[in-house]
A and B are shown apart, each in its own frame.
Chain A
Amino acid sequence: MALVLMLPLGYVVVAAATTDLAVWRRLWTTRIPELLLNTLSLSAGVAVVDLILGVSLAWIVTRYRFPGSGIWDWLLMLPLAIPSYVLASAYTHILHRDGTAAHLWRLVAGPDASVFSPFSFAGAVLVLALNTFPFVYLLARSAFQRFNVAFEETARATGAGRLAVFFRVSLPVIRPSLMAGLFLATLYVASDFGAVSLLRFQTFTHAVYQQMTGRFDNAAASCLSLVLVGCAGVFVFGERRFRRQSRFYQTTGRYRPPVPRPCGPAAALLLNGGLLLVFMAAFGLPGLLLIRWTVDAVAAGEVSPGFVGHMWNSLSLSGLTATAAVVCGMPLAYAATRRRTWAGTLCAQGAYTGYVLPGPVAALAVLVVVSHLMPALHGTMLILLLACLVHLLPVALQGMESALQQVTPNLEEAARSLGARPVQSFRRVTLPLVRGGFASAWILVFVQCMKELPASLLLRPAGFDTLAVRIWLEASEELYHLAAPPALLIVVITIPVVLLWSGALAGPGRRDTRADADAADADADGADADAAGATGAPSRAPTGRRFRRSP
């Protein structure tokens, strides 16, 4: 399985290795240094903005109680529902030199003032940061919610100030979650081609797409891909190393969730205002634009008649991809977190390559590999499914691995010592505990797949246009009012899914079904077991109730 997933990488390596040295030299002198600088600085810029936005918003939402705080909890997730290319076209419209923003700014700053151009480094950072900060926000928020306040209280009791506690206790403890969020955001930025091509900002992925659509041979595209994959490989390796070094389990049974502090009216107004600003920038304004354009299109009777078909195509492709990603990802994630053999690690690392391989190259590689090995798949939806799977499996893996890591291995060992077979222990102990994490992985893949563009553009069978493809075809003709209805539909379909994801991530303490209560028990018991194991005391069997029920 993992080998199949690594085929695209193999294709890129072989294609780049067999490329003429002259091509390499030309690329090195004309393109690579600039692209390297642009890609790295864009990723870094977006990461910094994401970190500031994500952590501060998560802190405000989890630690303060004010009128409206409950709504922001989920409103701040909605930007994930807007595809990057839609956000980019909205901002090219908003920041247009004859646009409303420019007129307003001229009233303030004089007739010669101009708003900054979206076609710049700052523009690309703005759009991609507004698009990706929810990754960091979500993971930081759920980490803050699961946070054991005892840590902070201990620090306060020993004399640390509020700021010192935040920077020296709270932040370091949620570091794995922040890294996971930044990891998703950075890979998203590195593999995005919709927004950067609309904003004319040259990154590797954009350049690869230009090479592929501008040339008949893919040698140069493969070379650029290889450099990108190399950089991403270093990044992925570094992230996993970091994660291995800083693995936290809850170490006490006396877990208490944080209690939000109530705010006065002035503070509440300030916080609401700040949150509203971020929300409008990332979701409200583009959403209103989409609605306006859609109304224009409907009024003019220009909505495509195949609209419902496109919707079903998008839904079915995303549903199948997400399911396949979770099913295929389960053994890989398990191997990577539990069985630390080199083969298991290699499998998991290999699967990550699909995400950093630029979408168009991943698609082309799948096409070539399939035509040699599985010609029967040609012209079917399966080939597209495979490309989406290769491209998005890492998203699922990331979430599933985090979930598995939070279940201490002692739980499974305890189950085994009580006579459960490996499969049994996985099904009855591990699975109930990681179900939320796995569901959120499914949802995340679903959402990403709804927005997926390059593979669908290159591999869809004739007559299988998805919503994203329709948006791209219309938007590349700059017919925004025609692109708006499918874009609005993607947003509308994705919103509940995003909210569901937030529920799945919110953790066991927030829901009250019987099974979740069991899982919460197990979590606390597992933490006990871990602590007990560390001090050499005999471990208790986890969730005794569940085990008593079965013979």
Chain B
Amino acid sequence: MPVAVCAPALLAALLAGAPAGHAGDDLVVYSGRAERFVQPALDAFQAESGIAAQVLTADSTALINRLHAEGARTAADVLITNDAGSLERARELGLLRAHAFPGLETAIPARFRAPDNSWIGLSGRLWVIVYNTALADPGALLSILDLGEPAWNGRIAIPAAGSVYLQTGVSVIRAVMGDAATTRFLRGVKRNAGSFVFEKNRQIVAAVARGDVAAGLVNHYYIHRHLAQHPDAPIALRMTDQGERGMGLILNAAGVGITAHVKREHLAAAQALVKFLTAPEGQLLFAHANKEYPLNPLVPAAPGLPPLDHVRIADVRLDRLADLRDPTMTVIETVGLR
């Protein structure tokens, strides 16, 4: 090859030397959560402890597949995801490390942790109905399953089958209602949504706000995010499945775990980070940044969020989400959702 072509490549290679070898002393965090909701907490942690962290942001499932493939040679010390089912799956695969520290029991309630604390929930996220206040009557929406009724034909928007939130939500419905009712619900939802199937929750909220559809299924904070930008948008959150015999709201949690193959010299720092994220300061930065519910009961929900104190939550343990997920995917695909 001519020198003219090789030279820039070699130059680039030399220049690459510095960033390519990531700093060996930094904590390495694999994160399935958007960087802008993780970085503020990590910056605060660095300011407090002097420990810096390198973040690798990617899709949660892809990160777990990667951790699995990397095995003992992984660079990751800490795993953060937005889905407790993914964390539990990582635990089942032996990718996380059990640990405990004084004060954990009071910081995060047991139902938001793995039994051996190999992962710890940090913030709660509800899968709810968003509706257009001009187009939908909230009184007609007592249960999330109502969206499968013929009355909603052509009037709802739903997430794509690849959405972890959809998978979690359907898993919870299956666990409570059984396969037959779930299949009926999904068939109805597929018909009612038509082509209003979106990859992004934000698109669903926008479609509801524009009036393209009357209602949609989203994580709660997308509604608040939209209202923060468009305070006059005619949308509202509907809390369904309440009452004596209601299923309860579907709650998932973002959480954190220390990897099984954490570098020995990083273990103390990784534990310090987990402790920081469960403490009030970390909870505020982690959960409030995205209008999620802090799971530490000492930390209040962000202003504007409906309080969860007297709200019924579906009684499906977070650590069951992992096992529920594959059969749920099969049901979703059999129905033919995309």
Contact = CB atoms under 8 A, between A and B. Distances in A.
Interface of A: 26, 30-31, 97-98, 119, 197-198, 200, 202, 210, 212-218, 309, 312-313, 315-320, 322-323, 326-327, 360, 364, 367-368, 371, 375, 378-381, 435, 438-439, 442, 457-464, 473, 476-478
Contact of A462 (B76, B160, B164, B333): B76
22 contacts: A26-B330, A31-B333, A200-B197, A200-B198, A210-B162, A212-B61, A214-B61, A214-B162, A215-B61, A215-B326, A216-B65, A312-B15, A319-B11, A323-B10, A367-B69, A371-B70, A462-B28, A462-B76, A463-B56, A473-B35, A477-B36, A478-B202
B71 interface: yes
Contacts of A460: 56
B21 to A, nearest CB: 8
A216 B333 contact: no
- The 10 closest A-B CB pairs, nearest first, are A316-B16, A319-B12, A463-B22, A319-B9, A323-B9, A462-B56, A210-B162, A316-B12, A379-B75, A463-B54
Given A367-B69, A461-B22, A30 B197 contact: no
B12 A461 contact: no
A460 B160 CA distance: 27
A323 B1 contact: yes
Contacts of A316: 12-13, 15-16, 20
Given A26-B333, A30-B334, A98-B210, A458 B12 contact: no
B19 interface: yes
B104 interface: no
Given A323-B6, A381-B16, A473-B35, A462 B54 contact: yes
A119 B199 CA distance: 12
B57 to A, nearest CB: 6
Nearest to B322: A216
Contact of A30 (B69, B89, B336): B336
B58 interface: yes
B146 interface: no
Interface string B240-276: 0000000000000000000000000000000000000
Nearest to B1: A326
A210 B325 CA distance: 15
A367 B66 CA distance: 8
B338 interface: yes
Given A316-B12, A478-B202, A368 B58 contact: no
A213 B11 CA distance: 36
B9 A364 contact: no
B298 to A, nearest CB: 30
Interface string B308-338: 0000000000000000011001100110101
Given A197-B199, A462-B54, A477 B34 contact: yes
Nearest to B89: A216
A31 B329 CA distance: 13
Given A379-B70, A439-B5, 12 more contacts: A214-B329, A316-B13, A319-B10, A320-B12, A367-B70, A378-B73, A381-B16, A461-B22, A462-B76, A463-B23, A473-B35, A478-B203
A316 to B, nearest CB: 3
Most buried by A among B19, B55, B58, B197: B19
Nearest to A383: B70
Contacts, number: 152
A368 B22 contact: no
Contacts of A309: 19
A481 B42 CA distance: 24
B59 interface: yes
Contact of A320 (B16, B55, B334, B338): B16
Interface of B: 1-2, 5-6, 8-13, 15-16, 19-23, 26, 28-30, 34-36, 54-59, 61-62, 64-66, 69-71, 73-76, 89, 160-162, 164, 167, 195, 197-200, 202-203, 210, 325-326, 329-330, 333-334, 336, 338
A216 B58 contact: no
Contacts of B167: 214
Contacts of B197: 200
Given A320-B12, A364-B69, A478-B202, A216 B22 contact: no
Contacts of A217: 326
A397 B36 CA distance: 41
Contacts of B23: 463
B73 A379 contact: yes
A473 B167 CA distance: 22
A459 to B, nearest CB: 8
A464 B22 contact: yes
A361 to B, nearest CB: 11
A381 B58 CA distance: 17
Given A26-B334, A463-B23, A438 B70 contact: no
Nearest to B85: A216
Contact of A200 (B22, B29, B56, B160): B160
A35 to B, nearest CB: 11
B16 A462 contact: no
B55 A312 contact: no
A216 B64 contact: yes
B92 to A, nearest CB: 9
Contacts of A119: 195
Given A458-B58, A462-B56, A210 B160 contact: yes
A421 to B, nearest CB: 20
A461 B2 contact: no
Given A312-B16, A364-B65, A379-B73, A200 B59 contact: no
A442 B22 contact: no
B143 to A, nearest CB: 26
A244 to B, nearest CB: 27
Contacts of A323: 1, 5-6, 9-10
Given A323-B9, A379-B73, A212 B65 contact: yes
Given A316-B20, A438-B1, A462-B30, A216 B8 contact: no
A312 B66 CA distance: 25
A213 to B, nearest CB: 5
A123 to B, nearest CB: 12
A74 to B, nearest CB: 20
A313 B20 CA distance: 7
A209 to B, nearest CB: 8
Nearest to B64: A216
Most buried by A among B10, B59, B64, B334: B59
Contacts of B35: 473
Contacts of B8: 319
A375 B19 contact: no
B16 A317 contact: yes
B63 to A, nearest CB: 9
